[in-house]
Amino acid sequence: MHKLQCWIDKMGIRFVLMVNKQGQTRLAQYYEYLTLEERRTLEGEIVRKCLARNEHKCSFVEHRNYKIVYRRYASLFFLVGVDDGENELAILEFIHLLVETMDRHFGNVCELDIMFHLEKVHFMLEEMVVNGCIVETSKANILTPVQLLDKAS
C-alpha cells in the first residue's frame, strides 16, 4: 500500500540529451553505462517520440522504464531521462536552470554555442549533476570552473 516508500534508492537523472529539431544530438551525457548500440536505439526512440509532440501536450513522456522530461528552446530540445517517481516539475525547472546558466555565460545562448563549446557545457553540467543527483543550483558556483579555465587560456 505504501508504495511511496518503495522508490528505493533510485538514481534520479539517468541522462541529459540536447537534440536539435532535425534530430541531431548536440550533447549526450549518461549517468549509467549503456553500450553505444543501446544509446543509439534509445536516442532514436526518444527523439522520435518527443519531437512528434506539439506544444499543447505535456512535457513528460513515458518510455520503457524511464520518464522523459523535456523542454524545447527554439530549435533545441532538452531531454532528461529520469526514474519513474522522480519529481517531474523539479526536473523541468532544472532544465531551465541549465539554460539560464548557459545564457549567463554565453549571453543569448544558441545551438551553435553549444556545438562549438561542447566542453564548456560539459563543465557546467558536471558542476550541476554528479552520479545522477543534483549537486549545485547556484549559477555563480556552477560557472566558477568555466571562468577559471577562461582565465587560464
Partner 1 sequence: MAMSGMRGLSVFISDIRNCQNKEQERLRVDKELGNIRTRFKNEKALTPYEKKKYVWKMLYIYMLGYDVDFGHMEAVSLISAPKYPEKQVGYIVTSSLLNENHDFLRLAINTVRNDIIGRNETFQCLALTMVGNIGGREFAESLAPDVQKLLISSSCRPLVRKKAALCLLRLYRKNPDVVNVDGWADRMAQLLDERDLGVLTSSMSLLVALVSNNHEAYWSCLPKCIKILERLARSQDIPQEYTYYGIPSPWLQVKTMRALQYFPTIEDPNARRSLFEVLQRILMGTDVVKNVNKNNASHAVLFEALALVMHLDAEKEMMSQCVALLGKFIAVREPNIRYLGLENMTRMLMVTDVQDIIKRHQAQIITSLKDPDISIRRRALDLLYGMCDVSNAKDIVEELLQYLSTAEFAMREELSLKAAILAEKFAPDLSWYVDVILQLIDKAGDFVSDDIWFRVVQFVTNNEDLQPYAAAKAREYLDKPAIHETMVKVSAYILGEFGHLLARRPGCSPKELFSIIHEKLPTVSTSTISILLSTYAKILMHSQPPDPELQNQIWAIFKKYESSIEVEIQQRAVEYFELSRKGAALMDILAEMPKFPERQSALIKKAEDTEVDTAEQSAIKLRAQQQSQTSNALVVTEQSHANGTPSVGQLSLVKMPSMSSHVDGNSADPRLSPENGTLTVVDSQPSSADLLGDLLGPLAIEGPPSINVHPQPSSNPGSDGTVVEATAIVPVGEQANSVQPIGNIAERFHALCVKDSGVLYEDPYIQIGIKAEWRGHQGHLVLFLGNKNTSPLVSVQALILPPMHLKMELSLVPDTIPPRAQVQCPLEVINLHPSRDVAVLDFSYKFGNDMVDVKLRLPAVLNKFLQPISVSAEEFFPQWRSLPGPPLKLQEVVRGVRPLPLLEMANLFNSYHLLVCPGLDPNPNNLVASTTFFSESTRAMLCLIRIETDPADRTQLRMTIASGDPTLTFELKEFVKEQLVSIPTTTRIPIQQTPTSPVAQPTSAPAALTDPGAMLAALL
Q: For residue 2, what are the contacts with CB-CB under 8 A and spacing of at least 6?
A: none
Tell whether residue 3 is a contact of partner 1 (CB under 8 A): yes
Q: For residue 40, what are the contacts with CB-CB under 8 A and spacing of at least 6?
A: none
Binding to partner 1 in span 37-56, by CB under 8 A: 38-40, 42-43, 53, 56
Binding to partner 1 in span 113-132, by CB under 8 A: 115-119, 122-123, 126, 130-131
- Burial of residue 98, with CB atoms counted within 10 A of its CB: 0-12 exposed, 13-18 middle, 19 or more buried: buried
Site string for partner 1, 51-90 (x = CB under 8 A): --x--xxxxxxx-xx------------------x--xxxx
Identify the residue among 23, 75, 140, 147 touching partner 1 (CB under 8 A): 140
Taking contact as CB under 8 A, which single stretch among the options 72-80, 92-100, 101-109 is the one that binds partner 1? 92-100
